[in-house]
Structure 1
Amino acid sequence: MTRTSHRTLRLGAFLITPGYHVASWRHPSAHAAGGLDFGHYRDLVRTAERGLFDLVFLSDGLGIRIPFDSHEELSHQGRIIQFEPLTLLSALAVHTRNIGLVATASTTYHEPFHLARNFASLDHLSAGRSGWNVVTSVTDAEAQNFNRDSQPSHAERYHRAREFMQVVTGLWDSWEDDAFQYDKSVGRFFDPDKMHVLAHSGEHFQVRGPLNVARPPQGYPVVVQAGSSPDGQDFAAQWAEVVFTAAQDLSQAREFYQGIKKQVAGHGRDPEQVKVMPGIFPVVGRTQSEAEDKYALLQDLVDPVVGLGLLRLLLGGADLSQYPVEGPLPELPRTEGSTSRQQLVYDKARRENLTIRELYQSVAGGRGHRIIIGTPDRIADELEHWFRDEGADGFNIMPPVLPDGLDDFVDMVVPELQKRGLFRTEYEGTTLRENLGLDRPVWGSAATAQVSPDTP
């Protein structure tokens, strides 16, 4: 069933510097050192806000996640340094007014009280524009920075994540919305009946509370999640309000979209309160040939060392160095990394009969996400098709090179989407929830979302 035309799509800007393409740092216009340049990020976020994007999204890992066997091998990579995202977004909050600020943070290597306080603080600093991309961390490299030799199992990570969410949302409800009175005449700072001690005692966490930050302006910061494995989808269906995903074609997108909405309803939630936003890697040109030339330039910059390293990362650390690059991708042992992304890469290699070299070339841009190369009309056509035919509520835009790729999308594609009535011409509200069309959680919502530790 095609949805009615009054819906407007949502847009997020995936800001990984100096661009989403694996060779972006080598592009002549790229700011190779942009990962540690605050002014660069400030300008990018202002561009996204000028384009009326709902949010900017900062990916993150707790260490260098790209597998490497030597310093020389690692030296060819271009995205190994970046700011800690919550620190960066806190600074960016004062340079923006409407756009949502979403940061990645791991439930595997943080404590709930710490993240509850950080995101509540960002929500106050930004006047209600914060969002948390919940991840469980998928590499041994991260585990080795936190007293472990290897990452916990996939099931164990999600088991911890579920209890983590119970604690964090419970802490965000430590204070009712009007708890703080600041009544100087009687000397009462807050209403004692409106403070609530969590006193959580579970398998992974023992947290008393209350949180020493008032309830966030949005009630809870917007919860974002990107897992596509069965565990990831179940977790998203229970907790997420924005779901990032990867799909190569509309049939895949529709299958995921309809499946996740059904699971959301199965958890007693309103499917309209969960926005599904597949990743899109757009290469925009004024003509089709200009767009194709832009993409070809990037593809020519892919270093074979980097291409093989990318496959190793996507395949959960599997080493391909002993196999000929002109041969097919062999069957390798699956790892405890991102199981959905591993399957996506294997499926692509088999479906398109790709050699290892062809495979790393094909994923160097989108890394499993849909690549659209063309004019603003062509890109808008495809986004409209997916949006109207129940493949998406919006899209997470992954510019190939920054800042040029984001400028191209804002200046050329956004006006085309607006002309078609698919995208806003002004922000609807001042908070991320208001602009996404999400309800504000009433106080005490966390108590209704608690689950048994045995939940799969």
Structure 2
Amino acid sequence: MSQKKIDFGIMLNGPGSHMHAWKSNEVPSDASTNFDYQLDIAKRAEQAGFSFVFVADGLYIHEKSIPHFLDRHEPLTLLAALAPITKKIGLVGTISTSYSEPFTVARQLATIDNISHGRAGWNVVTSPLEGSADNYSKGDHPEHDTRYDIAEEHIQVVQGLWDSYEDDAFKFDAEKGEYLDKNKMHTLNYKGQYFQVKGPLNASRSEQGQPVIFQAGASPKGQDYAAKYADAVFTLGESKESAQRNYESIKAQAKAYNRNPDEIRVYPILAPVIANTKNEVEARFENIKTLANIDEALDYLGRYYDHHDFSQYDLDAPFPDLGEIGQNSFRATADAIAIRAKRNQLTLREVALEETVRRSPFMGTYEEVADLIIEWVEDGAADGFIFGPHIYGAVYDEFLENVLPILEEKGYYDKSFHGETLRDHLGLPFKENRYTQSQVTN
């Protein structure tokens, strides 16, 4: 019997991951901005021993966007609000490297990390939607690979700024009049192609050294970036086989960068459809499917292709060849959809409805889903999971009350937190200051 703890994070995604989860009578219709509701989800996750909450984000909407994306909280503001009223759970927020300044990002996250005593994490994204450029004064939306080149410089600046002060730099010695040991303050002087940042940052380091870096890119360029910089990687996990390939690829690339593969955690999405019996499971899934009609499903599908208009095609013809459409947005997702449609000879109607509410690999009774979770971890497909159901409500209740106890009983889950910081929860080492490391090495 394994005693390894399976980590869980939870997606704070309003009413759920389904585009029309807000219609369900199981959740408040205004769940995406209902702070009391979100706080309750976070507090219950903390009580259950979840390692972190995870707040996704986007920078472009229009009238065909997912409804609960039209009005939702900015991630860092939400996490700052949660920081003093939670005690243990990690706080992970999404910030774009394409549309934010590194100095500001470094300062904001350092502040949350200090307020929460070392529980902050940054989900690094490059912003796939081309319309994002219309909301910022930065010119045209960067091409896919260029966005990752920008992201590489961005994170180098942010992490460099986070090391502006060594851990014991601030003395607060009133008798000697010494607030700071100036020998332990460092100026970055970064000069790159996209960013030129002097520093130092006006923020000290936290109990975990630096915030934890999450990354969700699935393209080859995105995976390479994750292997180089991420502490944790968020993957789609459409099947155990695809999750295993991603897991092996990320770990191998991390090793190629002379990183310890055990120090980069891989978390597929967990969107379970669970119930007491198989018939109840199928009935629940059918109910979820009724939330969106075909026109809404086409709008949802279009989001992956920078809101491409799919209403122009024959619904019952084979999925169309879209050429380069989508290659500068959700590239890996667009490629995966095209491959799956061709392999399974799917029509546009079938693809749209399938994408709107995909059958989860984790559909079954409580015992069956608990066993599947264990199987994925044992078979090298995951280190843990990010819980993000189609609809919160009954599924969340039943997961906490029926699935977690099975995992506990089998020795794969422990509600107690190991340490105080997010790095502690994930089994990651303290992030040493580069200048201290340099002194030790020399």
Please tell me the TM-score bracket, short chain as reference: over 0.9
Distance 2:234 2:386 in 1: 7
1:266 aligns with 2:256: yes
Q: 1:347 deviation in Å?
A: 2.1
The AA in structure 1 aligned to 2:399 is F
1:401 aligns with 2:395: no
Q: 1:401 deviation in Å?
A: 1.2
Distance 2:108 2:284 in 1: 40
* Bigger mean CA deviation after superposition, 387-396 or 139-148: 139-148
Q: 1:77 deviation in Å?
A: 3.1
Q: Secondary structure at the match of 2:328?
A: coil
CA contact 1:318–1:333 (8 Å) conserved in 2: no
**Alignment-derived partner of residue 285 in structure 2:** 295
Distance 1:207 1:224 in 2: 23
The AA in structure 1 aligned to 2:354 is S
Q: 1:257 deviation in Å?
A: 0.8
1:176 aligns with 2:156: no
* Bigger mean CA deviation after superposition, 398-407 or 222-231: 398-407
Q: Secondary structure at the match of 2:76?
A: helix
Q: Secondary structure at the match of 2:69?
A: coil
- Any residues of structure 2 matched to 1:372-383 within 5 Å, and which? 372-383=362-373
Distance 2:215 2:436 in 1: 17
- Any residues of structure 2 matched to 1:304-453 within 5 Å, and which? 304-334=294-324, 335-366=327-358, 370-444=360-434
- Any residues of structure 2 matched to 1:33-432 within 5 Å, and which? 33-64=30-61, 71=63, 73=64, 77-147=67-137, 150-334=140-324, 335-366=327-358, 370-432=360-422
Q: 1:371 deviation in Å?
A: 4.0
The AA in structure 2 aligned to 1:50 is Q
**Alignment-derived partner of residue 31 in structure 1:** 28
Distance 1:27 1:85 in 2: 24
The AA in structure 1 aligned to 2:17 is Y
Q: Secondary structure at the match of 1:223?
A: strand
Q: Secondary structure at the match of 2:124?
A: strand
Q: 1:150 to 1:25 in 2, by over 3 A?
A: farther
Distance 1:192 1:96 in 2: 34
Q: Give a deviation string over 1:327-350, Cα, whole Å, max 9, x none.
A: 221110233012111112112222
Distance 1:350 1:362 in 2: 14
Q: Secondary structure at the match of 2:385?
A: strand
**Alignment-derived partner of residue 451 in structure 1:** none
Q: 1:364 deviation in Å?
A: 1.5
The AA in structure 2 aligned to 1:364 is T
CA contact 2:150–2:194 (8 Å) conserved in 1: yes
The AA in structure 2 aligned to 1:80 is L
The AA in structure 2 aligned to 1:182 is F
* Bigger mean CA deviation after superposition, 107-116 or 210-219: 210-219
CA contact 1:34–1:40 (8 Å) conserved in 2: yes
CA contact 1:172–1:216 (8 Å) conserved in 2: no
* Bigger mean CA deviation after superposition, 149-158 or 271-280: 149-158
The AA in structure 1 aligned to 2:225 is F
Q: 1:322 deviation in Å?
A: 1.0
The AA in structure 2 aligned to 1:231 is K
Q: 1:397 deviation in Å?
A: 1.3
The AA in structure 2 aligned to 1:432 is L
Q: Give the number of aligned pairs.
A: 436
Q: 1:61 deviation in Å?
A: 0.9
Distance 2:210 2:41 in 1: 26
Q: 1:311 to 1:148 in 2, by over 3 A?
A: farther
CA contact 2:6–2:413 (8 Å) conserved in 1: yes
Q: Give a deviation string over 1:289-320, Cα, whole Å, max 9, x none.
A: 11221111110111323211111112343331
% identical equivalent positions:
37
Q: 1:220 deviation in Å?
A: 0.9
Consecutive unaligned residues in structure 2, runs of 5 or more: none
Q: 1:78 deviation in Å?
A: 3.8
Distance 1:33 1:87 in 2: 18
Distance 1:211 1:405 in 2: 43
**Alignment-derived partner of residue 452 in structure 1:** none
Q: Secondary structure at the match of 2:310?
A: coil
CA contact 2:232–2:265 (8 Å) conserved in 1: yes
CA contact 1:177–1:443 (8 Å) conserved in 2: yes
Q: 1:446 to 1:17 in 2, by over 3 A?
A: farther
Q: Secondary structure at the match of 2:271?
A: strand
CA contact 2:15–2:21 (8 Å) conserved in 1: yes
Distance 2:412 2:86 in 1: 24
CA contact 1:12–1:395 (8 Å) conserved in 2: yes
CA contact 1:316–1:342 (8 Å) conserved in 2: no
Q: What TM-score does the superposition give when structure 1 sets the normalisation length?
A: 0.92
**Alignment-derived partner of residue 7 in structure 1:** 4
Distance 2:360 2:123 in 1: 21
* Bigger mean CA deviation after superposition, 138-147 or 434-443: 138-147
Distance 1:250 1:339 in 2: 21
Q: Secondary structure at the match of 2:137?
A: coil
Q: 1:10 to 1:433 in 2, by over 3 A?
A: same
Distance 1:351 1:432 in 2: 41
Q: Secondary structure at the match of 1:344?
A: helix
Q: CA RMSD in A?
A: 1.8
Q: Secondary structure at the match of 1:36?
A: coil
Q: 1:187 deviation in Å?
A: 0.8
Q: Give a deviation string over 1:192-246, Cα, whole Å, max 9, x none.
A: 1100011111111111111111112211100000111111011000100100112
Q: Secondary structure at the match of 1:53?
A: coil
Q: 1:377 deviation in Å?
A: 0.8
Consecutive unaligned residues in structure 1, runs of 5 or more: 449-456
Q: What TM-score does the superposition give when structure 2 sets the normalisation length?
A: 0.95
